[in-house]
Chain A
Amino acid sequence: MTEYVLRFMVGGVVVSAFAMLGDMLRPKSFAGLFGAAPSVALATLGIAVHRYGADYAAQQTWAMTAGAIALAVYGFVVCQLLIRTRLRAAAATFLSLAVWLVVAFGLLILAGGQT
């Protein structure tokens, strides 16, 4: 339980810091880089290294490469949906999560990862 409370606090602080930095930057497309900052990864990997060791964290980041490629596809799809359709940001970002899931798990299976 203590580990989850720690995860919540560390994750909240790191994500908020990156998000506030993104808010302060201009132009918008440059600020968007901070929307894809590895904030959750930094918080999670710090705890993973401390509790389970470097080997476990290396395995996690290897799988993270599939998630990152899926994130690039996700960002492209959200951008196209917002420009070409009349969808609002909340709907476009939420619906595109399905694309992220399919691409991320597809790549992991292709790479022969554990599913």
Chain B
Amino acid sequence: MSPIGFSCSSLKEGRWYEYLIRFALGGAATVFTGFVSSRCGASIGGLFLALPAIFCASATLIEKHEIRRKREAGLDGRRRGEEAAALDAAGAALGALGMLTFAIVFSLVVERNIPGAFIGASLAWLVASVTAWCVRRKMRWVRRKQSAGKISGPADSRGR
């Protein structure tokens, strides 16, 4: 299992306009949500708080970076880029569980304590997302170990 790591060097792979696109998309998504809320009400506006607009840009950038890295090494890299974006999407699906927890905690706490709602909901998001990710990783690891055991089993008995 690869450990969780932190590397600032990956920021150098990005081009300035890619950060500008993310900034503009984030701003536009927030403006859009406010606009929908003011026109259609808080409920429909609230739905768009979980709109994956930013994810579209992130996944596309991850794919581009992976392809660029592989092309520099003389490989095609297209399939690798798609796989990297797929892994990011799997992570986003787990992160959505965290977002669900964020929304539940915020809606329950905000009318009693506003700063507490922001802090509590953000912590709930972090804990739920990381827990979901760790559980999924552990399950995959156990499954892989079991299937590796099945493959090596007959070979071991042959050896005896």
- Using a CB–CB cutoff of 8 Å, the interface residues on chain A facing chain B are 3-4, 7-16, 19-20, 22-49, 52, 54-76, 78-79, 82-83, 86-90, 92-94, 97, 100, 104-105, 108, 113-115
Contacts of A69 in B (CB 8 A): 96, 100
In the docked arrangement, what's the CA distance between A5 and B81, Å? Answer: 35
With A26-B4, A65-B100, A108-B44 known as contacts, the answer to whether A70 contacts B50 (CB < 8 A) is: yes
Distance, CA A40 to CA B53, complexed state (A): 10
Which among A13, A52, A64, A105 is the interface contact of B46 at CB below 8 angstroms?
A: A64
The answer to whether B11 and A29 have CB atoms under 8 Å apart is no
How far apart are B59's CB and chain A's nearest CB, in angstroms? 5
Complex alpha-carbon distance, A115 and B56, angstroms: 26
B95 contacts A36, C-beta separation under 8 Å: yes
B92→A33 contact, CB < 8 A: yes
Whether A82 contacts B107 in the complex (CB less than 8 A), given A26-B7, A40-B30, A59-B43, comes out as no
Q: Bound state CA distance, A75 and B117, in angstroms?
A: 26
Which among A38, A94, A108, A115 is the interface contact of B125 at CB below 8 angstroms?
Answer: A38
Q: Is there an interface contact between B46 and A61, defined as CB atoms closer than 8 Å?
A: yes
Docked CA distance A9–B34 (Å): 13
SS class, residues of chain A in contact with chain B: helix
Query: Once the chains bind, are A24 and B54 in contact (CB under 8 Å)?
Result: no
A24-B10, A60-B42, A75-B96 in contact; A49/B47 too (CB < 8 A)?
no
CB pair A8 B28 closer than 8 Å: yes
Are A29's CB and B91's CB within 8 A?
yes
User: Are B91 and A89 neighbours in the complex by a CB distance under 8 Å?
Assistant: no
A32 lies within 8 A of B6 (CB): no
Question: A15-B54, A23-B11 given as contacts; is B22 within 8 A of A79 (CB)?
Answer: no
- Taking a contact as CB atoms under 8 Å apart, the answer to whether A26 and B2 are in contact is yes
Contact status A28-B49, CB under 8 Å: no
Contact mask B88-103 → A, CB, 8 Å, 1/0?
Answer: 1111111111111011
Given A32-B88, A54-B111, A64-B47, A74-B23 contact (CB < 8 Å): no
A69 to B6, CA, bound (A): 29
B41 in the interface (beta carbon within 8 A) = yes
Residues of B within 8 A of A62 (CB): 43, 46, 103, 107
Given contacts A9-B27, A40-B26, A104-B50, contact A26 B5 (CB under 8 A): yes
Chain A residue with Cβ nearest B84: A28
A33 to B114, CA, bound (A): 25
Min CB–CB distance B90 → chain A (angstroms): 5
Q: A75-B90, A78-B59, A97-B52 are in contact. Are A67 and B22 (CB under 8 A)?
A: no
